[in-house]
Amino acid sequence: MSIINSYDNSEEIVKAEIFTKEQQKLSENAIVCFKKELIDEIENMEEFEEYSNIEVCGEKVKIYKTKVYGKDVIIYRTMLGGPATAMMMEEIHARGVQNFIFFGSCGELTSDLKKGAFIIPTAAYRDEGTSYHYMPASDFVEVKTATKLEEIFKKNKISYELTKTWTTDGLYKETKDKMKKRVQSGCKVVEMECASIMAVAQARNINAYQFLYSDDTLAEANWDIRTLNDNRSPLLKECLKIAFEIIKEI
């Protein structure tokens, strides 16, 4: 059976609730990052308290809690790639979280984006496998929360770019011809999780918000690492502040 015909909406054999029913309940809101640097910063912030953990591939990932505009919020670092991110999202949701705010880096596919720009994805090209288990086959999955996210960015006078994104789980097979096709289909950036996140959100009736920041670029003749190895602490703290404003408005 081809993967494009593999979607099946019958009952799951293994459910997240099996593993989480004895675990600590979490708040309704979660902020999710991809960078250890931010978690290292949070460990030294008085407003954050280590609260729980989640185990992924034998590794315990710490979960912190805080209050944002009077709302209880947890924050954790997810793993790279759609499958791990989706699995953690399922288990965190089973423990009570309904609203997820994700932020992470992306690569630029076109030369018209500003260096370090914030990106609001409007749709994700499904060049990965996870989303095909959560929704019928299609080229793109719509980011249904993009309009609300844009309103929040405008209200807070945060500069941003709207675009489709290319989600791939083949980092080292981002070929030049594939990139040209994705640009032709409207994608200005590439990353590894958005399509999976939004497919899970739609299947489980979860509110998932995601914004990105541009890092490296594939738009030049040769790959340009740009800010990929820079100190990201100031940028990540800015992303955290934006996530707080999103929590305030949802």
Q: Report the pLDDT averaged over residues 80-102.
A: 96
Mean pLDDT of 104-131: 91
Euclidean distance between CA atoms 107 and 223, whole angstroms: 10
Residues facing 54 on adjacent strands: 61
Q: Within a domain: residue 19?
A: no
Supply the DSSP symbol for 221.
S
Which of 51-55, 127-131, 238-242 shows the lowest per-residue confidence on average (mean pLDDT)? 51-55
Q: Give the pLDDT confidence score for residue 230 in this predicted structure.
A: 63
- Tell me which of 246 and 231 has the higher pLDDT: 246
Does the residue 17 lie in any domain? no
Specify if 13 maps to a domain.
no
Q: Does residue 10 lie in a domain region?
A: no
Confidence (pLDDT) at 38? 93
Confidence of residue 227 (pLDDT cuts 50, 70, 90): low
Beta strands in 34-186 (DSSP E): 49-56, 59-68, 71-77, 99-108, 118-127, 140-142, 161-168
Count of CB atoms situated within 10 Å of the CB of 21:
10
Give how far the C-alpha of residue 76 lies from the chain's centroid of Cα atoms, to the nearest Å: 12
Tell me the pairing of strands 187-191 and 59-68: unpaired
Q: CATH number of the domain that 87 lies in?
A: 3.40.50.1580
Q: What is the mean pLDDT of residues 81-107?
A: 96
221 is a domain residue: yes
- 119: tokens are 């990106």
Average pLDDT over residues 87-91: 96
Domain that holds residue 115: 25-249
Q: Does residue 18 sit within a domain?
A: no
Does residue 143 lie within any of the structural domains? yes
* Tokens standing for residue 45: 């912030």
* pLDDT-based confidence at residue 229 (cuts at 50, 70, 90): low
Q: pLDDT at position 232, please?
A: 74
Q: Quick check: 233 and 241 in contact, CB under 8 A?
A: no
The model's pLDDT over 7-35, given as tens digits with 9 standing for 90+, comes to 899 999 999 988 888 898 999 999 999 99
Q: Is residue 151 part of a domain?
A: yes
Q: What percent of the chain has pLDDT over 70?
A: 93
Q: Which residues pair with 124 in a beta bridge?
A: 141, 165
Percent share of the chain, pLDDT over 90: 75
The number of folded domains in the chain is 1
Q: Whole-model pTM?
A: 0.94
**Residue type at 7?**
Y
Question: Do residues 9 and 204 lie in contact, with contact meaning Cβ atoms separated by under 8 Å?
Answer: no
pLDDT in tens, 153-191: 999 999 999 999 999 999 999 999 999 999 999 999 999
Residue type for 89, please? M
